[in-house]
Amino acid sequence: MFSKFLRRNVPTTKEGRWWQYRSIANNLAFLHILAMFISFSGASLIIYTHLLVQLNEFSVKRIGEEMDSVRTMLVEPNGIELLENEIKSQLYESESHKVFIRLIDLKGRILKETAGMAELLPVSLFPILEKDTRIEKLRTTGGKLFLLINGPISEDNFTGEGGQIQIGKDISKDELFARGILVFFFVLFLGILIFSLTSAFYIVGKGLKPLGVVSERIGQIRDFNFNVPLDMTLLPVEMLDLGNSFNTMLERMENSFRKISQYSENLAHELRTPLNNLMLAADIALSRQRTPEEYQNVINSSIVEYRRLSLLINRLLFLVRAENNQLEPTAERIDVRRELENVVEYYCEEAHEKGITVTVVGAASLSVDPVLFSRAVDNLLSNSLKFTNEGGSVTLAAQEKENNSIEVSVSDTGCGIDPLLLPKIFDRYYWAEASRRKDQKGTGLGLDIVKAIMKLHGGSVAIESESGKGTTVTLRFPG
C-alpha cells in the first residue's frame, strides 16, 4: 500500500545524506508513527508501573496485616489455640491468598509453622532481627517468588521470653499477571504499529494530494504556456496562500515572457535597420567602380550606423550590469547646475536647428557619480528634444528640498504622453514599442537606463505628463 512512499531514488553524495531527501510524505508519516509510539509507550509504561506498584502494595499490606493479626493472637490468653487455628485455616486458602506462618523462640527453635513451610521457606531465609520488622522478596530454588516478612515479638507474648514471627506469601501469580499485562501491551503495540503504518501513509497521502495538483500544473507549463492556473477550490485552507502565490507567479511569468517577446521583436527591428542600411550601402558601393570620394561617403554613412549599433549594445550591457549589481558608482561632490549646463551645451546645436529653447534654472550641490548623473540627464534631454516640436521649450531645473534631498527635473512642451500609458512608461519593453509607433529612431532604453541609475544611487524617478501639453521627469536624490 505504501511502497510508493518508500521507494525513493535519493542521492547519497558527500553534500547530503539520504534522510535529507526523504519525501514530505515519509517525514510526516514517520513523525506520526513516532508520536504514536512515544505516546503509547509512555502510557503503557505508566500503566504497567502503576499496576506493579498496586500489586506490591496490596501484597505488602496483606502480609503486614497477617503479621499484626498473629501478634494480636499471641497476647490473648488462648493465643496458641488461635495461632494453630490460623495456621490450619491457611491450608484451605487459594495459592494467591495463602500465607505461611512460623513462630520461633530466641534460641531458633520452631514452635509453630505451616505445613510444608520448612521445605519452601527454611528458617535460614529469614534473618534474625531484634527490633525492626523487615519485608523483602525472594525467589526460591523452585522458581517461585515469595514476599517475606519477619519481626520480633516481646517477652510478654506467647513464648514468655520473646522470639521471631516469620511469614511468607507466594506472589508468583502476581508476577505472572504482570507479565501477562506486559505481553498484552506488546501485542497491542504491534497491532497499533501496523494500524499506524497503514493509516499514517494513507492519511498523509490524502493530506498531500493538493501538492500533486500543484505538481501537475507545473508539469503542464510548456513552451511559455502559463495559462494553467490552480483551481483554488481544490486546495485546503492551509494552501490557499500558496495557490494565490503560484497563480500570481504564473501571471508575472506570462507578462515577463510576453514583454520579452515584444522586446525581442523591437530589438530585432533596431538591429535590422542599421544592418540593412550597411548591407545596402555596401551593395551599392560594389555595384560598379566608384571614385575615392564616393567610397569615402559610403564609409562615412556606415560609421553612423556603426555608432548606432554600438550605442544600442552599450546600453544593453549597462542595463545587464546594473541589474546584476556589477556597477559600483563613485560618489563625488558636484555642482548640479554646472553639470546640467554641460549636458545642454552638447545638445545646443540640435536644439537650435529644431528651434527649441533650452534653459537651466536653480542650483544645488550633490554627491553622485558624475558620469552616471550626466548620462541620466542626457537621456532625459535627448527624449525631450526628440518629442518637442519646433518653437517649443525644454527646462532643466535643480532644487534642494527641506529634507536635504535634491530634485533634478527635465520639463518640455512636447507632445506629452497619454495618462493611460504613464504606469508602464519605465517598462523598457513597452516604451520601445511606443517609440516605434511614434516613428522615432532610438533604442527605447533611455528611461530604463535612467531608472537603473537612480536605483544605483538609492533615489527614485517620477514622471508627469499631459497629452499635447508636455512632460516633466523628476529625479529625486536622497540627502
Domain boundary among 293, 322, 351: 322
Contact assessment for residue 99 and residue 169, using Cβ atoms and an 8 Å cutoff? yes
Q: Is residue 178 part of a domain?
A: no
Strand locations in 131-278, DSSP E?
134-139, 145-153, 163-170
Query: Residues 153-176: pLDDT tens digits?
Result: 776 555 567 778 888 888 888 888
Q: Is residue 375 part of a domain?
A: yes
Q: Is the pLDDT of residue 464 over 60?
A: yes
* Together in a domain, 343 and 470: yes
Query: Residues 226-250: pLDDT tens digits?
Result: 667 777 777 777 667 877 887 888 7
Contact assessment for residue 309 and residue 271, using Cβ atoms and an 8 Å cutoff? yes
CATH number for the domain that contains residue 264: 1.10.287
Query: Residues 316-337: pLDDT tens digits?
Result: 777 677 776 767 788 889 999 9
Q: Is the pLDDT of residue 190 over 80?
A: yes
Domain boundary among 289, 322, 355: 322
* Together in a domain, 381 and 275: no
* Together in a domain, 241 and 358: no
Q: Give the list of residues 6+ apart from residue 417 with CB closer than 8 angstroms, or none.
A: 425, 463, 465, 467, 471
* Together in a domain, 313 and 352: no
Q: Is residue 201 part of a domain?
A: no
Q: CA 230 to CA 234: how far, in whole Å?
A: 8
Q: Comparing 105-114, 196-205, 337-346, which segment has the lowest mean pLDDT?
A: 196-205
Local structure of residue 15 (DSSP, 8 states) = T
Q: Is residue 441 part of a domain?
A: yes
Q: Is residue 313 part of a domain?
A: yes
Q: CA 49 to CA 209: how far, in whole Å?
A: 42
Q: CA 8 to CA 27: how far, in whole Å?
A: 13
Q: CA 213 to CA 262: how far, in whole Å?
A: 32
Confidence of residue 132 (pLDDT cuts 50, 70, 90): low
CATH number for the domain that contains residue 391: 3.30.565.10
Q: Is the pLDDT of residue 209 over 70?
A: yes
Q: Is residue 95 part of a domain?
A: no
- Please provide residue 260's backbone torsions phi and psi, each rounded to the nearest 5 degrees: -65, -40
Q: Is the pLDDT of residue 358 over 90?
A: yes
**Angle at CA of residue 193, ends 188 and 198, nearest 5°:** 130
* Together in a domain, 248 and 307: yes
Residue 460 cell numbers, joined: 527614485
pTM above 0.85, yes or no: no
Q: CA 152 to CA 71: how far, in whole Å?
A: 10
pLDDT, mean over the chain: 78
Domain boundary among 322, 345, 377: 322
**3-class SS of residue 104:** strand
Quote the domain boundaries for residue 417.
Answer: 329-477
Residue 356 cell numbers, joined: 527649441
* Together in a domain, 270 and 359: no
Q: Is residue 266 part of a domain?
A: yes
| CA distances to 62, 303, 344, 459 from 452, in Å | 92, 29, 22, 10
Number of domains in the chain: 2
Please count the other Cβ atoms lying within 10 Å of the Cβ belonging to residue 52: 15
Q: Give the list of residues 6+ apart from residue 475 with CB closer than 8 angstroms, or none.
A: 376, 377, 380, 407, 408, 409, 450, 454, 459, 460, 461
